[in-house]
């Protein structure tokens, strides 16, 4: 919760599904975190989360706490106004998340950290041209993670991307251009090969859109073997737009007669 509690810095709470039994699990006090957004990740009796403010550097932190409110642990302190806005995602014993302003370039980053608070790794630094200022969570399927940036990209309106869990292969799946949406925020839902999400602005009435995008990789086309009078096709694979280059158009035309 963003606010509330004795210091008005937010709380972690529990409530049963009937709407009764509300109780405060823990309260933030600035040093332990401030203004928590997003959801909590549960593994056994341990809850994991992030706050965009507070902590030693007042740049947000990653924390854990037992479901009974005991054993609070400040797992990682962000610096340089990183501002992690969103939730953590747990996969294979690692927690994955994003910061809005962190990373080498200040446009946000993707990171991983062990559940014991060790082994923090900066997996990818956004650089504006590939996206900037993510405001949401990562969706994981196998060894791929999907997410969105609220800005940056080809038209500076944000994008949808994928990246492997090691941080080595980053791919822009969709670039927003205003007409198809602008400023995507929140989480993506993966159903089969389709991702569903929302953009805060853009669309026909400039009031935001609900969108879907196919994650299926492009089908490769077998390239013609290069020779002195052959054809080159590139890029391969492609998304339906490609170039045919004739090494020797005149000779090729004569050979085809």
- The mean-pLDDT minimum among 18-22, 137-141, 246-250 falls in 246-250
pLDDT at 140: 95
CA atoms lying within 13 Å on the CB side of residue 206: 0
pLDDT above 70 covers a percentage of the chain that reads 83
> H helices of 109-178, where?
none
> Average model confidence (pLDDT) for the chain?
86
pLDDT of residue 246 exceeding 70, the answer is no
Does residue 78 contact residue 56 with C-beta atoms inside 8 Å? no
Q: Are 139 and 188 in contact (CB under 8 A)?
A: yes
Cα 113 to the chain's mean position, in Å? 15
pTM (two decimals): 0.81
Q: Average pLDDT, stretch 224-246? A: 50
Q: What is the average per-residue pLDDT within 85-93?
A: 91
Instruction: Copy the structure tokens of residue 66.
Output: 């037992």
pLDDT > 50? residue 208 = yes
Is residue 36 very low, low, confident or very high in pLDDT (cuts 50, 70, 90)? confident
pLDDT digits (tens, 9 = 90+) for 43-65: 999 999 999 888 888 888 999 99
Three-state SS string over 59-83 comes to CCEEEEEECCCCCCEEEEECCCCCC
Q: Is the pLDDT of residue 222 over 80?
A: no
pLDDT for residue 131 is more than 90: yes
pLDDT higher than 90, residue 41:
yes
Alpha-carbon span 110 to 163, nearest angstrom: 9
User: Could you give the CA distance from residue 82 to residue 61 in angstroms, rounded to a whole number?
Assistant: 9
Angle at 123 between CA 120 and CA 129, to 5 degrees: 140
Contacts with 224 (C-beta within 8 Å, 6 or more apart), sequence order? 230, 231, 232, 233
**30-34, 181-185, 225-229, range with the lowest pLDDT:** 225-229
Residue 1's pLDDT is 55
The rounded distance, in Å, linking the Cα atoms of 128 and 151 is 7
Query: Dihedral sign, CA of 132, 49, 32, 27?
Result: positive
């Amino acid at each position: 919760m963003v606010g509330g509690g004795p210091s008005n810095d937010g709380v972690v709470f529990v409530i049963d599904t009937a709407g009764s039994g509300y109780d405060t699990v823990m309260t933030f006090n600035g040093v332990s975190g401030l203004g928590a957004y997003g959801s909590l990740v549960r593994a056994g009796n341990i809850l994991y989360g992030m706050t965009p403010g507070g902590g030693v550097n007042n740049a947000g932190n990653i924390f854990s706490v037992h479901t009974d409110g005991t054993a609070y642990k400040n797992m990682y302190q962000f610096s340089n106004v990183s501002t992690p806005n969103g939730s953590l995602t747990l996969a294979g014993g690692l927690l994955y998340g994003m910061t809005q302003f962190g990373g080498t370039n200040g446009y946000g980053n993707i990171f991983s950290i062990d559940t014991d608070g060790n082994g923090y790794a900066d997996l990818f630094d956004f650089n504006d041209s590939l996206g900037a200022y993510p405001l949401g969570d990562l969706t994981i399927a196998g060894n791929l993670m999907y997410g969105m940036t609220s800005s940056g990209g080809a038209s500076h309106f944000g994008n949808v991307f994928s990246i492997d869990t090691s941080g080595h292969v980053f791919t822009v799946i969709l670039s927003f251009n205003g007409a198809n949406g602008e400023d995507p925020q929140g989480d993506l839902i993966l159903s089969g090969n389709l991702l569903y999400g929302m953009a805060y602005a853009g669309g026909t009435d400039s009031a935001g859109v609900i969108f879907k995008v196919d994650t299926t990789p492009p089908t490769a086309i077998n390239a013609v073997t290069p020779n002195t009078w052959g054809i080159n096709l590139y890029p391969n694979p492609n998304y339906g737009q490609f170039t045919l280059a004739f090494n020797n158009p005149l000779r090729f035309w004569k050979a085809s007669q």
